[in-house]
Amino acid sequence: MGNNNVLEGIEEKIDYTVAKKPVTLRSIIWKRFKKNKLALVGLILISILVIVAIFANFIAPYPATTVDYANKKLPPSKEHILGTDELGCDVLSRLIYGARISLSIGLVAVCLYVSIGILIGAISGFFGGWIDAILMRFTDVIISFPWLVLVILVAAILGPSIYNVMLIIGLTGWSTVARLVRGEFLKLKEMEYTLAARGLGANNFRIIFTHLLPNAFAPVLVAATMGVADAIIIEAALSFLGLGVVFPDTSWGQMMHAAQSLTVLSRMPWLWLPPGILISIAVLCINFIGDGLRDALDPKLIR
Amino acid sequence: MIIGNDEIIKIKGLKTYFHTDDGVVKAVDGVDFDIRKGETMGLVGESACGKTVTSFSIMRLVESPPGKIEEGEVLYKGENLLKISQEKMRKVRGNEISMIFQEPMTSLNPVFTIGKQLSEVLILHQNMTEKEALDKSEEMIKLVGIPRPREILKGYPHELSGGMRQRVMIAMALSCKPGLLIADEPTTALDVTIQAQILELIKGLQESIGMAVLFITHDLGVIAEVSDRVAVMYAGKIQESGTSEEIFIEHIHPYTEGLLKSIPMLNVRKKKLDVIEGSVPDPINFPPGCKFHPRCKYKIDKCEKEEPELLEIKPGHFVRCWVKQ
Amino acid sequence: MDNLIEVEDLVKYFPVRTGVFSRISAWVKAVDGITFNIKRGETLGLVGESGCGKTTTGRCIIRLIEPTSGKIMYNGEDLLTATTERLLKLRKEMQIIFQDPFASLNPRMNVGRIIGEGLAIQKKYSKSEIQDRVVDLLKKVGLEVDHIKRYPHEFSGGQRQRIGIARALAVNSKFIVCDEPVSALDVSIQSQILNLLDRLQEEFDLTYLFVAHDLSVVEHVSDRVAVMYLGKIVEITFRDELYENPIHPYTQALLSAVPVPDPRVKTKRIILKGDVPSPVNVPPGCNFHPRCMYRKDICTKDIPELRDISEGHIVACHFAGEL
C-alpha cells in the first residue's frame, strides 16, 4: 500500500465546499425575499408611492392648498381628475402631497419607538435580575394603559398636529419591540460566540454592540416594518377624528375627515374613496413586505 | 444471526432527488442492496451521504415536494413498496417495517401518555380493543426492560430519560413484530453506557422476534458490533459493501480505508492519525467522475472523468472504484 | 515539570428556581468538589458522560462561569481573587475552543474580525499588525488567506473549528480548554482537527484540558486522563495506566461499553443497570453506588476520597485496588 503520505492534513487544493465568490448573508436574504412574489410586488408599489411623495412638486397638477371657494365640491372632470374638496382644493394634488405625511409619519414614529424598544429590551435582557423585572413590569403597565384616552388627552391639551401624532405613536408603541429584543438577548447571551468574546476580554459594551445587537436585529426589522403599516392606520384614524393632521397640512387620513359628514359619504365618493384606497394599498403592501422579510430572515434556513 | 439466504427486502437502483431553488440535490443516487431475514445490515456514512434519505425512501416518508423518489424498486417480501397505494403503505409502516429515530426527545409526542402512544400502534394495526392494547403495551414495556410498567404507561415522555425514551420507541416499533426494523442513529444521542444497554436490547429482541435490522449510523464502532453485513455510503451511492469482516479488515475502497485509518481506536496507539484531506462535497455541486476523487490518495486520470460502477470483486463483496477493482 | 493549573475543591452549583417568586427549590450539583492539577505542556483528558460536569469544569477553570467555591491557581496565581485588571491580562493566556462549530462563531462578523477580536480588544495593536497576525494564523490552521473576508456560513463544520482554533491562538494563549472540539464533526474531518491540535501544541508549547465523551479520542490525545461521574472525579492517572488497568468500577464499565470498530474483538461488556441519576438528586455516600455491582454498606454512607493507589494512579473508591 504505497504513498502513505500522511500530509499535515491541511492542504485543500480542490475545495468543493467553499464557493468561488463570497456569498454574503445579505445576498442570501435578498434572493429569498425575491422569491416571494407578493413581497416583491409590495416593495415595488411602495417604492412607487415613495417616489410620488418625494417628487410631489413635479407630479401634482396643482398646489395642495389652493383654496378656491368658487369651485368647491366638484365631481371629477377634465381640470380636476379627482374633483375638488369642500375648500376647492384639487383632490388629486392633495392625494399626492398627502403621501408625504402619511408615509413619513409611519417611518418617524417607528424609528422613535424602535429606538426606545431596543434600549429597554437590551438592558432588560442583558442585565436580567431585578432590572429586568422592573422594566418588564413597567412595560406591562404601558401596554395596559388606555391608549385612546391618552391620545385624546394629548390632542386636547396640546392641540392636534403631525408632531403630536408621531410622538404619541412613538412613545407608546415600543413594548412589542422591547419584548422581542429582550427575548433575543436572553437567548444570544448564552451563545458560544458570546462566551468566546467574554473569554477574550470583551467588555459589556462590546458584547452588546458587536455580538448581541446585530444578531437580534432580524425580528426587530420585521416588527418595525409591520409597525409602519400600523402607524399609517393610526394616523389615518386620528386625523379622521380631527385629532391628528389638520388643514393646511395634508394627509390621507386628513382627507378622510370630510367623510364624517353623511352627505359626503353618500354623495361625494371622490373625496374619501381615493385616500381610503391608497391607505389600504400602502398598508397591504407593507404587510406583504413584512411577511416576505420574516420568511427571508428565518434563521433556520441560514446555516 | 442470519436465517437462511432469503431476502426480506431488496432495494434496486433507488434514486431520491430533492428539487430546491438552488439546484437538484441528488441525495440518493442509485443505491442497491438487500437484507436477509434475521440479519443486521449496517449502513454507514457521514453527514449528507444519503443514508437517512435512503431509510425514509424505503418507508416512503420523503417530504415531497421538494423530494421525489425518481426511480428504483423497494421489494419487500417480493412486493414493490414504491408502487403500492398510500393506504396499503400505511398498513406496512409500524406493522411490517418499523422505524426508530435518533432524537428520543422529539420522537415521542409530549401531550399523550406513553400508554396511549403505545396502544395506538396496536389498535391501528392489530385491531385490538383499548384494554387489549394496554395489556400488550405493558408486556412490551416489560420486554424492553423498563421497571414499573403500569406506572410508566400512565406517565408522559418528559418524565423519562433519553435511554428510557429510546426503549419506549423500541417497544412501539416492535409491538407488531415487524419483519424489518430500521434504526436510524438510535444511540447517537445517548451516553456510551446507555448505548451499550440499548444495543444489547435490540440484539436480544432481534433474536427472539427473528426480524431483520437496517442499522444506520456514522459510528464505525457500533457498526462493527451489530452488523452482519455492511454497506458504506458516500455522496448518495454505496461505495463498498460486504460482510463485516470484509469491510473492516480488508477495506478495499479508498474511502473505507481512509475512514478506518483515521479514527482513533481503543487500545491502538498512533502518533498521528491518517487523514482524508478535504471535506464532504456539497450535494448540489458534486465533482465529476468518481465522487470521492478530490480526496483520494490513489486517484488516476480516469477517476476524474468517469464514475465507476459497483462491481462484485468477490462473491458478496462489492466495490465501486477504478483503481481497486 | 511544574503545575500550570491547580484546582482544589472546585464546586459549582446551579440554582433551580420555582414558583411565582423564583424561590430556590433545589441545586444542580454540576461540579461537586473536585481536585486536580494540569502540568505545563501536558494534555489532561477529562472524560465522562452527560451531566458529569466536565463542560462546567472547563468553563469554571478559565472563569467563564463563576465557581461557587474552591481554589483555582494558574501559574501560581490565585485566579478567583485576582483583580479585574489582572484577570484581563490572564484571560489572554487561557482560551477555549467550543464544541458546536455553528454556534461558536458570530454569523455577522467576517473571519478576519472573528480571529482578530482578541487583539482588537487589547487596543495595543494597529490594524495592519492585527491583519498580519490573522493572515499568519489562517495559514497555520490550514485555511486560505482569501477567506479572511468571508462569513462563517460559507464554511463547513471542520473549517469553522479551525477558525475557532485560530481565534484562541491569536492572543498567544498558553492554556486551552478544548470542549468537545471534534464531537460535532464528521469522522473523516475529526482526524484533521486532532492532528492540527497536536501540531499546534508542539509548535506553541501549549497545555490542553481536553474535555470529551469519546474515549477513543481522549485516549489518542491525552497524557493523563481524569474520569468524572456526577460532579466528582472518580479516577485520574496516566493515559496508558487508565486504559490498561482501570480500577474504579465506573471506569471499567465505561471502557467496556465503548464499541470497537473491529468485528473480531468481542469485548466483555459490563452493562450498568439503570440511568445516570440527576445532578439535582445526588445519591448519598459514593454517588456511583446505586449502579455499582461491588457496592457494600459503607458505600451508601461515606463519600470516598481520592487516594493514590500506586504511583500516580488516583482513585475514589472504598475498595480501590481490592476489586
- Cross-chain Cβ contact A3/B274 below 8 Å: no
How would residue A246 be classed by pLDDT, with cut points 50, 70 and 90?
Answer: confident
d(CA A171, CA C165): 46
| 8 A C-beta contact, residue C197 and residue C228 | no
Residues in A touching B278 (Cβ below 8 Å)? 12, 14-17
pLDDT of residue B237: 93
Q: Which amino acid, one-letter code, is at C34?
A: I
Q: Which amino acid, one-letter code, is at B102?
A: Q
Strands annotated E in B81-217: 97-100, 180-184, 212-217
pLDDT of residue C112: 94
Chain A stretch 10-69, residues whose beta carbon is closer than 8 A to a beta carbon of chain B = 11-17, 35
How would residue A20 be classed by pLDDT, with cut points 50, 70 and 90?
Answer: low
**Chain B residues with a Cβ under 8 Å from any Cβ in chain A:** 21, 272, 274-275, 277-282, 285-287, 294, 297-298
Tens of pLDDT along chain C (323 residues) come to 588 999 999 999 998 887 766 678 889 999 999 999 999 999 999 999 988 999 999 999 999 999 999 999 998 899 988 888 888 888 889 999 999 998 999 999 999 999 999 999 988 899 999 999 999 999 999 898 888 989 998 888 899 999 999 999 999 999 999 999 999 898 888 999 999 999 999 999 999 999 999 999 999 999 999 999 999 999 999 999 999 999 999 999 999 999 999 888 887 888 888 788 888 889 999 999 999 988 889 999 999 999 998 888 999 999 887 76
Residues in B touching C257 (Cβ below 8 Å)? 192-193, 195-196
Residue A301 has pLDDT above 60, yes or no: no
Pick from A9, A195, A210: CB nearest C195: A9
| 8 A C-beta contact, residue C68 and residue C13 | yes
How would residue A145 be classed by pLDDT, with cut points 50, 70 and 90?
Answer: confident
- Cross-chain Cβ contact A193/C106 below 8 Å: yes
Residues in A touching C192 (Cβ below 8 Å)? 9-10
Q: What are residue C27's DSSP bridge partners?
A: C15
pLDDT of residue B40: 95
Residue A3 has pLDDT above 50, yes or no: no
pLDDT of residue C133: 94
Asked if B195 has any chain C CB less than 8 Å from its own CB, the reply is yes
* Whether residue A146 has a cis bond before it, omega within 30° of 0: no
Chain C stretch 169-198, residues whose beta carbon is closer than 8 A to a beta carbon of chain B = 186-192, 194-195, 198
Query: At how many degrees (to 10) do helices B162-174 and B130-143 cross?
Result: 120
Q: How far does the CA of residue B173 sit from the closest CA of chain C (Å)?
A: 22
Asked if C144 has any chain A CB less than 8 Å from its own CB, the reply is yes
Closest of A143, A148, A104 to residue A120, by C-alpha:
A143
Task: Give the chain C residue whose CA is nearest to the CA of B196.
Answer: C257
> What are the start-end ranges of the H helices in A86-161?
91-127, 129-144, 147-158
Q: How many interchain CB pairs under 8 A, A with B?
A: 35
Helix (H, G, I), strand (E, B) or coil at B240: strand
Closest of C158, C237, C169 to residue C205, by C-alpha:
C169
Q: How many interchain CB pairs under 8 A, A with C?
A: 95
- Cross-chain Cβ contact A7/B285 below 8 Å: no
**Strands C175-179 and C94-97: what pairing?**
parallel
Q: Checking phi first, is residue C113 left (phi over 0); if not, alpha (psi -120 to 50) or beta?
A: alpha
pLDDT of residue B13: 93
Query: Which strand ranges, in their side-by-side order, compose the sheet holding B311-314?
Result: B97-100, B180-184, B212-217, B40-44, B229-234, B237-243, B317-319, B311-314
How would residue A300 be classed by pLDDT, with cut points 50, 70 and 90?
Answer: low
Q: What are residue B79's DSSP bridge partners?
A: B76
B269 CB contacts (<8 Å, ≥6 apart)? C220
pLDDT of residue C20: 66
How would residue A61 be classed by pLDDT, with cut points 50, 70 and 90?
Answer: confident
B59 CB contacts (<8 Å, ≥6 apart)? B93, B97, B99, B182
Pick from A12, A17, A35: CB nearest B277: A12
Helix (H, G, I), strand (E, B) or coil at C7: strand
Q: Which amino acid, one-letter code, is at C153?
A: H
pLDDT of residue A222: 92
Q: Which residue has the cell 459589556?
A: A204
d(CA A297, CA B145): 46
Residues in B touching A9 (Cβ below 8 Å)? 275, 277
- Cross-chain Cβ contact B279/A7 below 8 Å: no
pTM of the predicted protein model: 0.87
Asked if C100 has any chain A CB less than 8 Å from its own CB, the reply is yes
- Cross-chain Cβ contact B220/C255 below 8 Å: no
Asked if A128 has any chain C CB less than 8 Å from its own CB, the reply is no
pLDDT of residue C321: 76
| 8 A C-beta contact, residue C190 and residue C217 | yes
Best probe of the C interface among A192, A195, A205, by most C CBs < 10 A, is A192
Chain B stretch 233-262, residues whose beta carbon is closer than 8 A to a beta carbon of chain C = 244-245, 248-249, 258-260, 262
| 8 A C-beta contact, residue A86 and residue A72 | yes
Ranges of residues in chain B with a pLDDT under 70 are 1-5
Residue A16 has pLDDT above 60, yes or no: no
- Cross-chain Cβ contact B275/A7 below 8 Å: yes
pLDDT of residue A19: 59
pLDDT of residue C233: 95
The residue ranking higher by pLDDT, C24 or A294, is: A294
For the record, the C-alpha cell of B107 comes out as: 420522537
Q: What are phi and psi of B201, to 5 degrees?
A: -60, -50
- Cross-chain Cβ contact C142/A9 below 8 Å: yes
Show which subunits contact A, needing at least 3 CB pairs below 8 angstroms: B, C
Count CA within 13 A, CB hemisphere, residue B202: 33
Asked if A190 has any chain B CB less than 8 Å from its own CB, the reply is no
The most confident of the ranges A15-19, A58-62, A84-88, A108-112 is A108-112
A257 DSSP 8-state letter = G
Q: What would you measure as the largest C-alpha separation in chain A, in angstroms?
A: 103
pLDDT of residue A150: 77
- Cross-chain Cβ contact C147/A197 below 8 Å: no
Pick from A17, A25, A201: CB nearest C156: A17
d(CA C110, CA C95): 20
- Cross-chain Cβ contact B281/A9 below 8 Å: no
Provide the 10 A C-beta neighbour count for residue B291: 27
Residues in A touching B288 (Cβ below 8 Å)? none
| 8 A C-beta contact, residue A265 and residue A259 | yes
Angle at B199 (CA atoms; ends B194, B203), nearest 5 degrees: 150
pLDDT of residue B126: 85
- Cross-chain Cβ contact C171/A215 below 8 Å: no
Span B83-128, pLDDT tens digits: 999 999 999 998 899 999 888 778 889 899 999 999 988 898 888 8
